[in-house]
């Protein structure tokens, strides 16, 4: 919403006695439920007292910044996304088929912003935009950063 990257840091990890993988998953799930629907961000458990994972916080912040400033070539975007869009096209609306022909990244934006050019952009609904966003996060590891998806007339 504010076009910022996000890394959640949980301090006082030294006070937790039972540090099993199950406990970590429970804490992560509780954190993700508080931030829903945005659940694609790193969570780092630290202890300032024992200096546990302090450098991991900086590494995650750098990784998130790298993801925010990522530039993906148009050719790679089209190679990866167009076959996916053909396999899972947008749902038809009022008997009209929506065809997405081209995708590119907008230059000079605060966060990664992508434009999909379609024949009927007004009929592409929000759930399909979220589908595209999730697939892009999968393919290019854009963890911790918001993504803007725009659909425009070709």
Are 106 and 113 contacting, i.e. CB atoms less than 8 angstroms apart? yes
pLDDT of residue 94: 85
10, burial (CB in 10 Å: exposed 0-12, middle 13-18, buried 19+): middle
**Structure confidence by residue, pLDDT tens digits, 9-32:** 988 888 878 778 888 888 888 888
Helices (H), 4-125: 21-35, 54-68, 74-87
Predicted confidence at residue 118, as pLDDT, reads 93
The per-residue pLDDT for 128 is 92
> With the CA atoms of 25, 27, 29 and 30 taken in that order, what torsion angle do they form, in degrees rounded to the nearest 10?
160
What is the average pLDDT score of the chain? 88
pLDDT digits (tens, 9 = 90+) for 55-107: 998 999 999 898 888 899 999 999 999 999 999 999 988 888 999 999 999 99
Nearest to 132 by CA among 100, 71, 85: 85
pTM to 2 decimals?
Answer: 0.82
Q: What's the pLDDT score for residue 35?
A: 82
Residue 1: pLDDT above 70? no
């Amino acid at each position: 919403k504010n076009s910022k990257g996000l890394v959640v840091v949980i301090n006082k990890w030294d006070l937790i006695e039972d540090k099993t993988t199950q406990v970590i998953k429970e804490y992560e799930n509780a954190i993700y439920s508080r931030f829903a629907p945005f659940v694609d961000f790193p969570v780092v458990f630290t202890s300032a007292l024992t200096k546990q994972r302090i450098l991991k916080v900086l590494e995650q912040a750098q990784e998130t910044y790298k993801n925010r400033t990522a530039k993906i070539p148009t050719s790679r975007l089209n190679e990866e996304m167009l076959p996916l869009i053909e396999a899972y096209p947008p749902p038809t609306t009022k008997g009209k088929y929506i065809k997405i022909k081209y995708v590119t990244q907008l230059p000079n934006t605060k966060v990664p912003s992508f434009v999909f050019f379609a024949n009927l952009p007004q009929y592409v609904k929000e759930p399909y935009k979220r589908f595209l966003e999730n697939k892009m996060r999968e393919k290019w590891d854009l963890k911790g950063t918001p993504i803007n998806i725009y659909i425009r007339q070709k």
